[in-house]
Amino acid sequence: MFKGSNVALVTPFKNNKLDEETYIKLIHFHIQNGTNGLVPAGTTGESPTLSHIEHEKVIELCVKESKGKLPVFAGTGSNSTEEAISLTKHAEKIGADGALVVTPYYNKPTQEGLYQHYKSINDNCGIPILIYNIPSRSVIDMSVDTMARLNELKNIIGVKDATGDLNRVDLTLEKLGKDFIQLTGNDDNAFEFNQKGGVGAISVTANIVPKLCSDFQKLSKSENESDLKKAEQLNKTLQPVHHAMFIESNPSPVKYAAKLLGLCDDEVRLPLVKVTDSTKEKIEKVLHSAKLI
């Protein structure tokens, strides 16, 4: 159900308010352009600065507008277990297909603390849960052994791996098997990740080039040598775009790129700010080189 190119959806703002009209257009843009799944209210969706009402609204709109055409894995993580349970329950109630739950940031739980956090969410909810392991933002790294323990629970089905460590794919596959979903959170290693046994990505770049990202994902999992060569070529084309999306803190660069493509405004919420002029020039250059503008 959850593989291929899954977009980590941006949340568009207008005058510091949720721009619902543009957000709905973005959802349909992805439905029409081959995106395989929608991930609202994650890091790229600026979840840390969404109010609870906005957070729930973003997920509700995504579920409503996708109308079952694409799976929706809602960002419902928090460093408060109680809050994560509440957000996950809400996502389940409104019909989301699953939840993406980030490892708790700032409070630095132990591996046992991580296990108990996810177990509590699992025990209080009834939808599939993807672990979101991103040490660069959460400070902690969930071990493969902890994931193996969690995989014994009824709702824990996989991981969005943003460690950047490709060896983790092998270790996870060896310990948890191929039924445990492995998605990369790093666009730039998606080809190698899939070759090692991953089944897709939760992508920032897909916000601006959904069809290219979807085509790449499909080709990269093919057993046909010609398709794999095409995937490698697409990967080379996309690499500069991937890197440009992280010149400054995500999602400021991808929102500027989206603005250039007429998809949404580049407004972000403090403490994030719009990208600098020098970064704008770099993004424009990359998009021109990739013949996107």
Distance CA 78, CA 73 (A): 15
pLDDT < 70 positions in the chain: none
Distance CA 280, CA 133 (A): 30
Q: What is the dihedral of CA 50, 56, 60, 63, to 10 degrees?
A: 80
Edge-first strand listing for the sheet containing 156-161 = 37-39, 4-8, 200-203, 181-184, 156-161, 129-133, 98-102, 73-75
Distance CA 72, CA 140 (A): 26
Residue 86, pLDDT score: 98
Domain limits for position 119: 4-223
Residue 42, pLDDT score: 97
Task: Tell me the whole-structure pTM to 2 decimals.
Answer: 0.97
Residue 3, pLDDT score: 96
> Is residue 89 a part of any domain in this protein?
yes
CATH number at residue 100: 3.20.20.70
> Is residue 255 a part of any domain in this protein?
no
Question: Using CA of residue 94, residue 58, residue 133, residue 81, what is the dihedral sign?
Answer: negative
Domain count, the chain: 1
| Catalytic residue status for 132 | yes
> Is residue 135 a part of any domain in this protein?
yes
Q: How far is CA 189 from CA 101, 173, 175, in A?
A: 22, 17, 21
Of 3, 57, 160, 218, which residue is the catalytic one?
Answer: 160
> Is residue 237 a part of any domain in this protein?
no
Q: What is the dihedral of CA 77, 267, 258, 277, to 10 degrees?
A: -120
Are 218 and 3 within 8 A, CB to CB?
no
Distance CA 141, CA 133 (A): 7
> Is residue 285 a part of any domain in this protein?
no
Residue 169, pLDDT score: 98
> Is residue 261 a part of any domain in this protein?
no
**Strands, E, within the chain: which ranges?**
4-8, 13-14, 17-18, 37-39, 73-75, 98-102, 129-133, 156-161, 181-184, 200-203
State pLDDT tens for residues 121-180: 999 999 999 999 999 999 999 999 999 999 999 999 999 999 999 999 999 999 999 999
> Is residue 233 a part of any domain in this protein?
no
- Within 8 A by CB and 6+ apart from 181, the residues are 2, 3, 130, 157, 158, 159, 199
Nearest to 287 by CA among 246, 248, 244: 244
| Catalytic residue status for 118 | no
Of 23, 118, 132, 256, which residue is the catalytic one?
Answer: 132
Residue 6, pLDDT score: 98
Nearest to 164 by CA among 134, 142, 138, 191: 134
Residue 269, pLDDT score: 98
Distance CA 127, CA 155 (A): 6
Q: How far is CA 284 from CA 29, 54, 117, in A?
A: 21, 31, 42
> Is residue 81 a part of any domain in this protein?
yes
Residue 246, pLDDT score: 98
Residue 2, pLDDT score: 87
